[in-house]
Chain A
C-alpha cells in the first residue's frame, strides 16, 4: 500500500521555535533535579507534560522526545499528568522534534519544585543545537531572528546527468558555530545534507525558501530520451 510521505520531506520552511518536519533542537541538561517539559503550540496552552529526572547516577546520556507524539498522548490525559517520564544522567542531551503536523510545536522546561521556567525552545541559549535537513532545491534565507543575522543558502538541484552510473551518498552534515553572526554569508548544500547550528548566544533560527529551484528546463526531455533509449535497447534484444 502507498505510504504517506513523512513530514521531513514535505515541510519546507523550518523554525527552531516551532518544530515541524526535519527541524530538531538539542538542549543539554546540566542541572540535577526534577523538571517538567511542557509541550505547547500557543502561548500558555500546555498540550502535554513530560517529567524529566536528571541524576548524577543516571545511565541515559541522551533522550529523544517527539513533541507531536506527546501532543497526541496528552490529548487523552488529565491536564498536568505526565505523558512520559524520563530519567537521564547529568549532562545528557535532550533532542526535541515533531514527527507529524506542520503547525509547529515548542517546549518549555520548568522546575518541578516551583514551576519556574528554566529554558524555552523558542529562544535557544549557548550550546543548544538547531539541526535540520534541507531537501527541496532552491534558495533559502537562514536567519537568527534575535541578533538578527542572515545567511543565504542554496540547496543545489541534483541533476541526474551529473551522476550517471553513480550512486550518490548522503553527504556529510554541515556543522556551523553561530555567534552574533553566521560564519559565512552564503553557502551551497546538497539536498539531504544535514545542518547543525551550534549556538553561541541567544537564537531563534528560521530557514525559509525564497526561490524554488525546479531543475534544468531540458531535464524532462532528457529523461524522456533516456527512457526511449532503454526501451529501444530492450526491444532490439526482443527482436533478435
Chain B
C-alpha cells in the first residue's frame, strides 16, 4: 500500500486533456502528380476537442473523434498535357523486298508537336477557404500515460503512441464548390487557349483528342465523373494524401506537449514560516531576535506510478526522507 494514492476519473481527465492538447495553427503543404494532372495543397489546421477518451487496461488510453479545425485550404492544379504530334508520316520507305532495311522508313516527316511543356497549364489556384466549414476531418489516437521526475516535479505525461488521421469528408451543403471548380476550369481553358491561339487549331487539336470542347477535355483530365464533393475528397485523400501530411504535423505537435498533471517533489507539508518571537511568551526584556524562521516540512516523492483502473487514473507514491 502506497503512502499516497488518488484517482482522476475519465471526465476530469478529458476536461484537462481538452484544455491542454488542442494545438495552435499547424501549416502544411504537399503535392503529387497523377497522370497528366499535378495537384498541390497548402493548408493550415488546428486540433479541437476530443470527442471521447477511453481508459484502457494498464497504461494506455484511446482518444477518438478529435476534430481537426481548418484555417486555410488552397488547392493548386497543373496540367501536363499529353504531347500531340500532328502530321508525322513516312515520306520514303524502302521496298519490302529490298535486301537491306526492307519496309523501313528512309525519310520521315516529323510533323509538329504541341504541348511539350511541363506543366503546360498552371498552377491554377482553387481557394477552398469558402468551404472549410464543410470540410470534416478528425483523428483518433492511442496515448501512453507515464510519470517522470522533472526538476522540482513529478510530471504525468500522455505520450502519443499512434495517431490515425481519418479520410477527409466534404459536405458542401451550401453548394459553393461547383463555382470554385468552374472558375478553375475556366482559368485552365484560358491558359490552354493561349497555347493554341487559333480557333481552327483548337478544333484540329480537339478532333485529334476526341473532345468537342476544351472544357470537356479538362474535366476529363481532372477525372470529375461523379459529383464534385466526391472528386475533391478523392483528390485530397488519394491523389495528394493529405492524411499523411497532417499526420506528420499533428504527431510532432502532440509529441511536444507538456505534462497533463504535476506533483511537487519534494512534496511540501508545511511551508517555511517566519514567526514573531514575542508571540511565543512573556519575555522580561525585549528579545534580541524579534523574528525567527520555522523551516518547511517536506518529503521526497518516491516510487511514483500512474496506471488506469477501469474508469480512473490512479496515481500513487510514497514519501521518503529528505
Q: Could you jot down 30 A-B contacts, CB within 8 Å?
A: A1-B117, A2-B121, A2-B195, A3-B114, A5-B114, A6-B112, A61-B101, A93-B106, A129-B92, A133-B87, A133-B111, A135-B201, A160-B212, A161-B212, A169-B208, A170-B85, A170-B88, A170-B111, A191-B200, A192-B87, A192-B208, A194-B111, A213-B200, A227-B213, A230-B219, A234-B224, A237-B227, A238-B227, A238-B229, A240-B227
Measuring CB to CB, which residues of chain B are less than 8 angstroms from any residue of chain A?
85-89, 91-92, 94, 101, 106-107, 109, 111-121, 172, 175, 177-178, 182, 191, 194-201, 203-204, 206-210, 212-213, 215-216, 219, 224, 226-229
In the complex, per-residue mask of A191-209: 1 if CB is within 8 Å of any chain B CB, else 0 = 1111010000000000000
Interface flag for A26 (CB, 8 Å): yes
Q: Are the C-beta atoms of B91 and A9 separated by less than 8 Å?
A: no
Q: How distant is A193 from chain B, measured CB to nearest CB, in Å?
A: 7
Which residues 146-191 in A have Cβ within 8 Å of B in the complex? 157-161, 163-170, 172-173, 191
Indicate whether A158 sits within 8 Å of B178 (C-beta atoms), given known contacts A5-B195, A194-B109: no
Indicate whether A137 sits within 8 Å of B195 (C-beta atoms), given known contacts A9-B114, A226-B213, A234-B219: no
Which residues 99-140 in A have Cβ within 8 Å of B in the complex? 129, 131, 133, 135-137
Q: Are the C-beta atoms of A231 and B182 separated by less than 8 Å?
A: yes
- Our pick among A2, A137, A169 for the contact of B120 (Cβ within 8 Å) is A2
Interface flag for A75 (CB, 8 Å): no
Q: Are the C-beta atoms of B207 and A8 separated by less than 8 Å?
A: no
Q: Considering the complex of A and B, which 5 residue pairs feature the smallest CB-CB distances, nearest first?
A: A167-B210, A8-B112, A133-B87, A168-B207, A238-B227
A42 and B119 CA atoms in complex are apart in Å by 40
Q: Are the C-beta atoms of B219 and A239 separated by less than 8 Å?
A: no
A-side contacts of B87, CB under 8 Å: 8, 22, 133, 135, 170, 192-194
- Our pick among A95, A160, A169, A240 for the contact of B203 (Cβ within 8 Å) is A160
Measuring CB to CB, which residues of chain A are less than 8 angstroms from any residue of chain B?
1-3, 5-6, 8-9, 22, 24, 26, 61-62, 93, 95, 129, 131, 133, 135-137, 157-161, 163-170, 172-173, 191-194, 196, 213-215, 219, 223, 226-227, 230-231, 234-235, 237-240
Q: How distant is A185 from chain B, measured CB to nearest CB, in Å?
A: 24
Q: Are the C-beta atoms of B112 and A9 separated by less than 8 Å?
A: yes
A95 and B108 CA atoms in complex are apart in Å by 9
Q: Are the C-beta atoms of A2 and B216 separated by less than 8 Å?
A: no
Q: Are the C-beta atoms of B113 and A6 separated by less than 8 Å?
A: yes
Q: Are the C-beta atoms of B212 and A226 separated by less than 8 Å?
A: yes
Of the listed residues B89, B106, B115, the one surrounded by the most CB atoms of chain A closer than 10 A to its CB is B89
Q: Are the C-beta atoms of B212 and A157 separated by less than 8 Å?
A: no
Q: How distant is B320 from chain A, measured CB to nearest CB, in Å?
A: 68
A-side contacts of B206, CB under 8 Å: 160
Q: Are the C-beta atoms of A168 and B208 separated by less than 8 Å?
A: yes
B-side contacts of A135, CB under 8 Å: 86-87, 112, 200-201, 204
Q: Are the C-beta atoms of B200 and A137 separated by less than 8 Å?
A: yes
Nearest A residue to B182 via CB reads A231
A191 and B205 CA atoms in complex are apart in Å by 10
Q: Are the C-beta atoms of B203 and A8 separated by less than 8 Å?
A: no
A5 and B205 CA atoms in complex are apart in Å by 13
Q: Are the C-beta atoms of A196 and B227 separated by less than 8 Å?
A: no
- Our pick among A9, A26, A196, A234 for the contact of B228 (Cβ within 8 Å) is A234
Q: Are the C-beta atoms of B227 and A8 separated by less than 8 Å?
A: no
Q: How distant is A217 from chain B, measured CB to nearest CB, in Å?
A: 12
A133 and B120 CA atoms in complex are apart in Å by 24
Q: Are the C-beta atoms of B210 and A2 separated by less than 8 Å?
A: no
Q: How distant is A23 from chain B, measured CB to nearest CB, in Å?
A: 11
- Our pick among A26, A214, A238 for the contact of B200 (Cβ within 8 Å) is A214
Q: Are the C-beta atoms of B91 and A26 separated by less than 8 Å?
A: yes
- Our pick among B92, B175, B207 for the contact of A238 (Cβ within 8 Å) is B175
Q: Are the C-beta atoms of A159 and B203 separated by less than 8 Å?
A: yes
B-side contacts of A3, CB under 8 Å: 114-117, 120, 195
A226 and B114 CA atoms in complex are apart in Å by 24
A24 and B89 CA atoms in complex are apart in Å by 13
Nearest A residue to B116 via CB reads A3
Q: How distant is B65 from chain A, measured CB to nearest CB, in Å?
A: 28
A230 and B118 CA atoms in complex are apart in Å by 28
A-side contacts of B204, CB under 8 Å: 135, 158, 191-192
A9 and B87 CA atoms in complex are apart in Å by 11
A84 and B177 CA atoms in complex are apart in Å by 58
- Our pick among B89, B115, B216, B228 for the contact of A226 (Cβ within 8 Å) is B216
Q: Are the C-beta atoms of B107 and A164 separated by less than 8 Å?
A: no
B-side contacts of A231, CB under 8 Å: 178, 182, 215
